[in-house]
Amino acid sequence: MRISLKVTGAQGQGVNSIGEMCAKGLKRAGYCVFGYKEYMSLIKGGHSSYQLDVASEAIESSETTVDMLVCFNHHGLERNALEVKSCGIILHQTPQWKYTKEQQKVLEDRGIRTVYLPSEDILKKLKAKPILGNVLVTSVVWALLGRKAEELKELVQEQFGHKGEKVVAMNFQCIEEGFAFLGEESGKWKVESGLRLPKSDPSWKDHLLITGSEAMGLGLIHAGCRLYCGYPMTPSSPLLSYIAGMQNKTGMIIKQAEDEITAAQMMSGAMHMGTRAATGTSGGGFDLMTETLSLDAIIENPSVFILAQRPGPATGLPTWTAQGDLLLAVGSSHGEFARCVISVADAQDCYDLMPEAFNIAEKYQTPVIVMTDKQIAEALFTQKPYDQKKAKLDRGNLVTDPKALKKLKSTDRYDPNAKDGISPRWLPGSLAATYCAQGDEHNGDGSVDESAKNAVEQIEKRMKKMKAMERETPEPVLTVMSNEKLAVSNEEPALDLLVVSWGSNKGVIMDALKVAGSGLRVGYLHYTYLWPMKTERLSKLMKKSKKTVLVECNYGGQLGMLIQMAGGPTIKEKILKYDGRPFFVDELQKLLIANS
Amino acid sequence: MSIPLDSGTAKKMSAFHCANQCTWCDGCGDYGIWTAVKRALSESDIPPHGVLLCYDVGCHGNTSDKILGYRFHGLHGRVIPFAAGAKLANPRLPVMAFGGDGASFSEGVGHLVHGIRSNYPITFVLHNNGNYGLTTGQASSLTQQGQPMNSSPNGIPEHTLNSMDFVFSLEPTFVARAWSGDIDMMTKVLKAAIGHRGFAFVDILQACPTYNHFATHSYLMEKCYDVNAEGHTPDDFSKARALALDTSKRIACGVLFQREDMPSFYERLEPRKDCKTTAVEEVQIVDTAEWEHEFM
Ligand SMILES: Cc1ncc(C[n+]2csc(CCOP(=O)(O)OP(=O)(O)O)c2C)c(N)n1
Ligand code: SF4
Ligand SMILES: [Mg+2]
């Protein structure tokens, strides 16, 4: 069982702060929370929302409808009132508000109650600053959820304790007033909502509430990344902000570059020198980075590019989500070369795949593109504390031992006969024979060599790395729904419905499968490693499945195209979405049922 | 004017000798710059393995496999940010970047602006031959107006960029000038640049007999003079700027301006203060548990 609440208002009105406070309180009360933000590309005004979906079991998706709607202004009442489910609650702050006749009828039919909170008057009475409206509204929400004022006070104490007793006391007063308000009002409005929190599960209490961007920042730190360079562009900016905010603790070198070309070049220079460095951007910025990516390929420089997708072309929908850049990641940059494209799906991946990305980059001495999107970057996940023992540092064929360094010849650096095309790499400053990291076609020591023979040798050397990568990257992961439970399967069982997807869709697909169960044998095949593309397992599964459906947030079904490009099967059934919004769980369920 | 080639350090200089043959035109100024770089490095006691030489793309970039040392030959216009990123990762290693006037004042002009402004602790050497050599003699933004060039037979319609005025407007901490025929002078300013605390901008007026028929070797030989020998000290910003700009009669060469009181970009990084290690040495799996508490 799950419930959802949504806070709406103009940007800057406190939508996010209420959302975050409620999320924290609910998690601590023993719930799994998934937070989803919608906002527009402007600073003040507009219409934004923060939705929290709450359950006692793991969820990573939102519903199209909500149990409680909190509105800062009349726009929410106009636009979102009909998203409220039967017996839900609308809490608003617009004096003398009147619904349209049509709205009124629907709301009555659904038994939805509307509560007007005169927050301005209450704040005036308390002589409290307008900013305290957030705490006041939160306390009413909290009371409506049937929770205790003490829980909220604890949070406030934690958050504002450093601001002194006075501030805390004022906050407490607002909380008490919020609870008292409902006491009176509940009689009048007969607030006995259908809104019931599910049974709690204390194991959520010690989880983290973390956005994908923060998780990725922690993941980069964990991976030993010591330099991060970026240029602000939604949805990659929160990563830059987080990791920059951490610099005094981590000692990392952070550079907000003059443009994305610079960001990519600085990352590449730092990697070439021998540290671990990363850069992150969105589609437009990535376009600017692609010449550098190609350079990294020919000089065999390990490099990590984070590509946070939003809908294009051009500026597109800056603050919304999409998966339209998969083929860009795979096909960007001139020339043919080995690269690895992987995608995170949630806060777990955001952390785990960072060391992995660097290990791959250093092992194969080639660029790695890590894909994410606005949905992951800004969603709030309830995440188990990260395992600190799992990641291993793999720096590949990096020579640092002084004796081994002495033995190296200049021509070893790009030796075309190296196994799997992976030749020894050693760092500038090493007491060893020197070489040139050469952007022109070159021979072993990096000298320019335009001969036909050399060209063939070197291209083949670099492409051998693709073969090795293909051999070593994992197959996509299958999760099967059986006995009402989702479980990873290492077999290729016969299925009624096989769902294939990647990236941020994972969470909502898993949640949809849980509910869609209904006796069908359903499986989900998730692609984390997108290039090199593996299709063998998919082929086997498709042969045994009654039906296979591709789910993506783009117009073309790019994963499907990529699978075909790699010689894999054609997935004819597609559920595609390209309106800037992620899939919602109830929406996807209906689509899956219609397709099964 | 005699051009001294033997500095008495031939033995050390030979450490940078590379077997690949040079491919520049007869009389190209790149030969002189190439020699002076080797000399400056050896006279600064920097061995080939103790430096990273980063080359842009252009005729000058073809030095990348004609000299030993750790070298990098990247993209057209982009050498400064690569060199800066490398330097930040390991500030102990001297890093030099070389770029043409096309690379630095057209394709990658933004990087020059921010390189100077950021005061990265690197040396930047401008191979200033007043044209796009490698792509066969098109005009750069430093080409004199009225000069017929490949792709602009009537001369360029745009006015010529006053490069020194531009550079000085960015508040540089080091500006030097030399010309490609004077290896002694180049060696002197390059050594000073390598020893500089922040971003050192070295403008080398480079002869390009094939495409630059206005600022030729003999023209430069006639007009260039050692301004430090005439008593100029590099601590006066306005004087240095005036000297750099006025090339009507004579061209002032030498260290025109230098201030050492400005911290470099790296020195300004708060998290790196009192840090004894380099980012290169710090790569390891880091336990993040303590930073997860704020999300609880
Ligand atoms: C992105 C890109 N655009 C264009 C070129 C072609 N290109 C190579 S060198 C060059 C100009 C070189 O001029 P300059 O930087 O002054 O160097 P020079 O050859 O004069 O030493 C150009 C345009 C390129 N390599 N890359
Ligand atoms: S074109 Fe000019 S710069 Fe290029 S090699 Fe020839 S003389 Fe030198
Ligand atoms: Mg030039």
- B3 pLDDT exceeds 50? no
Give, for ligand 1, the residue of B135, B160, B180, B212 to mutate: max count of ligand atoms closer than 8 Å to Cβ. Answer: B135
Q: What is the CATH number of the domain that holds A539?
A: 3.40.50.920
Kindly state the average pLDDT of the residues A316-322. 97
Nearest to A429 by CA among B47, B192, B58, B177: B47
- Based on the domain organization, do A419 and A499 belong to the same domain? no
- Based on the domain organization, do A163 and A228 belong to the same domain? no
Element holding A431 (H helix, E strand): none
Residue A494 in any domain: the answer is: yes
User: Model confidence over B87-97: pLDDT tens digits?
Assistant: 999 999 999 99
- A436 pLDDT exceeds 90? yes
- Based on the domain organization, do A190 and A216 belong to the same domain? no
Q: How many residues does chain B have?
A: 296
Indicate the residue type of A371: M
Residue A532 in any domain: the answer is: yes
Peptide bond into B234 cis (omega under 30): no
Q: What are the start-end ranges of the E strands in A207-302?
A: 208-211, 227-230, 253-256, 277-281
CB B221 less than 6 A from any atom of ligand 2: no
Element holding A213 (H helix, E strand): helix A212-222
Check CB contact under 8 Å for B86 and A248: no
Check CB contact under 8 Å for B282 and A272: no
Q: What is the CATH number of the domain that holds A178?
A: 3.40.920.10
**pLDDT score for A453:** 98
Q: Which atom of ligand 1 is nearest to the CA of B104?
A: 15
Residue A319 in any domain: the answer is: yes
Tell how far the Cα of B132 is from the centroid of ligand 3, in angstroms: 4
Check CB contact under 8 Å for B70 and A435: yes
Mean per-residue pLDDT over chain A, rounded: 95
- Based on the domain organization, do A81 and A28 belong to the same domain? yes
Residues 6+ apart with CB under 8 A from B110: A258, A259, A262
Could you count the other beta carbons within 10 Å of the beta carbon of residue A474? Answer: 9
- Based on the domain organization, do A371 and A306 belong to the same domain? yes
The rounded percent of chain B whose pLDDT value lies above 70 is 96
Task: Tell which of A176, A206, A236 closes a domain.
Answer: A206
Tokens for A572, please give them. Answer: 């004819």
Identity of the residue in B52, B270, B279 whose CB atom sits nearest the CB atom of A248: B270
User: Model confidence over A234-245: pLDDT tens digits?
Assistant: 999 999 999 999
User: Model confidence over A291-311: pLDDT tens digits?
Assistant: 999 999 999 999 999 999 999
Residue B11 in any domain: the answer is: no
Higher pLDDT, B86 or A594: B86
**pLDDT score for A194:** 59
Number of domains in chain A: 4
Interface check for B116 against chain A (CB to CB < 8 A): the answer is no
Taking a C-beta distance cutoff of 8 angstroms, is the pair A525, A478 a contact? yes
Kindly state the average pLDDT of the residues B99-125. 98
Nearest to A32 by CA among A64, A62, A7: A62
> What does the DSSP assignment read for B105-148?
IIITHHHHHHHHHHT-S-EEEEEE-SEETTTTSEE-TTSPTT--
User: Model confidence over B271-282: pLDDT tens digits?
Assistant: 999 999 999 999
**pLDDT score for A123:** 94
Q: How confident is the model at residue A519 (pLDDT cuts 50, 70, 90)?
A: confident
Three-state DSSP class for A193? coil
Residues of chain B contacting A391 with CB distance shorter than 8 Å: 285
Give, for ligand 2, the residue of B22, B23, B24, B204 to mutate: max count of ligand atoms closer than 8 Å to Cβ. Answer: B24
Element holding A554 (H helix, E strand): none
User: Model confidence over A36-59: pLDDT tens digits?
Assistant: 999 988 888 789 999 999 999 999
- A595 pLDDT exceeds 90? no
Query: Considering just the CA atoms, what is the radius of gyration of chain B in Å?
Result: 20
**Which whole-number Å values give the CA distances from A557 to A324, A552, B95, in the listed order?**
9, 6, 46
- B10 pLDDT exceeds 90? no
Tell how far the Cα of A336 is from the centroid of ligand 1, in angstroms: 22
- Based on the domain organization, do A347 and A447 belong to the same domain? no
Residue A465 in any domain: the answer is: yes
Tell how far the Cα of B94 is from the centroid of ligand 2, in angstroms: 27
Closest ligand to C-alpha of residue B32 is 2
Which residue is closest in CA terms to ligand 1's atom 11? B132
Residue found by looking up tokens 């990273």 in the block: B52
Tell how far the Cα of B67 is from the centroid of ligand 2, in angstroms: 18
Taking a C-beta distance cutoff of 8 angstroms, is the pair A347, A381 a contact? yes
- Based on the domain organization, do A253 and A379 belong to the same domain? yes
Kindly state the average pLDDT of the residues A355-359. 98
**pLDDT score for B5:** 46
Range of the domain at A489: 477-595
CB B208 less than 6 A from any atom of ligand 2: yes
Closest ligand to C-alpha of residue B29 is 2
Q: What angle do CA A18, A22, A23 make, to 5 degrees?
A: 115
- Based on the domain organization, do A26 and A130 belong to the same domain? yes
User: Model confidence over A414-430: pLDDT tens digits?
Assistant: 999 999 999 999 999 99
Taking a C-beta distance cutoff of 8 angstroms, is the pair A344, A212 a contact? yes
Check CB contact under 8 Å for A261 and B78: yes
User: Model confidence over B170-190: pLDDT tens digits?
Assistant: 999 999 999 999 999 999 999
Residue B214 in any domain: the answer is: yes
CA B288: distance to chain centroid? 41
Kindly state the average pLDDT of the residues B40-68. 97
Residue A391 in any domain: the answer is: no
CB B210 less than 6 A from any atom of ligand 2: yes
Question: What b/e sequence results for A436-456 when a residue is b if at least 16 CB atoms lie within 10 Å of its CB, and e otherwise?
Answer: bbbbbebbbbbbbbeeeebee
Q: Which atom of ligand 2 is nearest to the CA of B25?
A: 6
Three-state DSSP class for B159? coil
Which residue is closest in CA terms to ligand 2's atom 8? B28
Q: How confident is the model at residue A159 (pLDDT cuts 50, 70, 90)?
A: confident
CB B89 less than 6 A from any atom of ligand 1: no
Residue B226 in any domain: the answer is: yes
Q: Are strands A367-373 and A303-309 parallel, antiparallel or unpaired?
A: parallel
Q: How confident is the model at residue B6 (pLDDT cuts 50, 70, 90)?
A: very low
Residue A291 in any domain: the answer is: yes
> Cα(B125)–Cα(B189) distance, rounded to whole angstroms?
10
- Based on the domain organization, do A449 and A483 belong to the same domain? no
Residue A394 in any domain: the answer is: no
Check CB contact under 8 Å for B68 and A434: yes
**What is the value of ipTM here, to two decimals?**
0.96
**pLDDT score for A41:** 83
Residue B83 in any domain: the answer is: yes
- Of chain B residues 16-35, which have a CB less than 8 A from chain A? 20
Residue B5 in any domain: the answer is: no
> Cα(A548)–Cα(A492) distance, rounded to whole angstroms?
14
Range of the domain at B35: 24-295
Output phi, psi for A158, to 5 deg.
Answer: -65, -45
- Based on the domain organization, do A39 and A181 belong to the same domain? yes
- Based on the domain organization, do A142 and A252 belong to the same domain? no
Minimal Cα distance from A447: which residue of B? B65
Minimal Cα distance from B286: which residue of A? A222
Check CB contact under 8 Å for A208 and B295: yes
Residue found by looking up tokens 């599964």 in the block: A541
Taking a C-beta distance cutoff of 8 angstroms, is the pair A435, A424 a contact? no
Tell how far the Cα of B123 is from the centroid of ligand 1, in angstroms: 20
**pLDDT score for A596:** 79
> Cα(A530)–Cα(A503) distance, rounded to whole angstroms?
10
> Cα(A195)–Cα(A91) distance, rounded to whole angstroms?
13
Taking a C-beta distance cutoff of 8 angstroms, is the pair A362, A395 a contact? yes
Residues of chain B contacting A273 with CB distance shorter than 8 Å: 52, 85-87, 89-90, 93, 280
Residue B19 in any domain: the answer is: no
Task: Tell which of A206, A229, A254 closes a domain.
Answer: A206
Number of domains in chain B: 1
CB B217 less than 6 A from any atom of ligand 1: no
Residue A396 in any domain: the answer is: no
Q: What is the CATH number of the domain that holds B288?
A: 3.40.50.970
